[in-house]
Amino acid sequence: MLPSKNRLTEFFRSQNFVSGSELRIFFRNNGLESSRFGISIQSGVLKKAVARNRCKRLIREWLRISLPHIKTGIDFWILVASVREEDLSSSDFFNKTLSTIFKRGHLFVSD
């Protein structure tokens, strides 16, 4: 995880982000050999903590599988803007959404 709440403001002020209708991914170089990830979902997006935790688990699982294909040396912050609880029933929704956004931002190694 990315440390320090104050550093989040640096992400949100940066011009480096890629947006989709459901997610916004902020990113910046970190000068390290590995990438770091943060995920946030406001309680207004999904009312129940169970649904927010399921959403985070699905995103972390996609990151675990896709990590070899993601560029290194970058800090990522994934902000969930709007998700329906019906979309959490399968991981296909996040597979398609995250893959599309990462491709659009040229954040995969092959890009």
How many structural domains comprise the chain?
Answer: 1
Can you give the residue range of the structural domain that contains 71?
6-104
Separation of alpha carbons 55 and 92, rounded Å = 12
pLDDT value at position 85? 86
When comparing pLDDT for 3 and 27, which is higher? 27
pLDDT tens digits along 16-74: 899 888 899 999 888 899 999 999 998 888 999 999 999 999 999 999 999 999 999 99
pLDDT tens digits along 61-98: 999 999 999 999 999 999 998 888 888 888 888 889 99
DSSP line for 35-46: -EEEEEE-TTTS
As a whole-number percent, the residues of the chain with pLDDT over 70 amount to 90
Residues 6+ apart with CB under 8 A from 34: 72, 73
Cα distances from 5 to residues 8, 36, 39, 94, in angstroms, run 5, 15, 13, 26
Q: Is residue 109 part of a domain?
A: no
Q: Is residue 29 part of a domain?
A: yes
Q: Which CATH number covers residue 11?
A: 3.30.230.10
Residues 6+ apart with CB under 8 A from 88: 51, 54, 55, 58
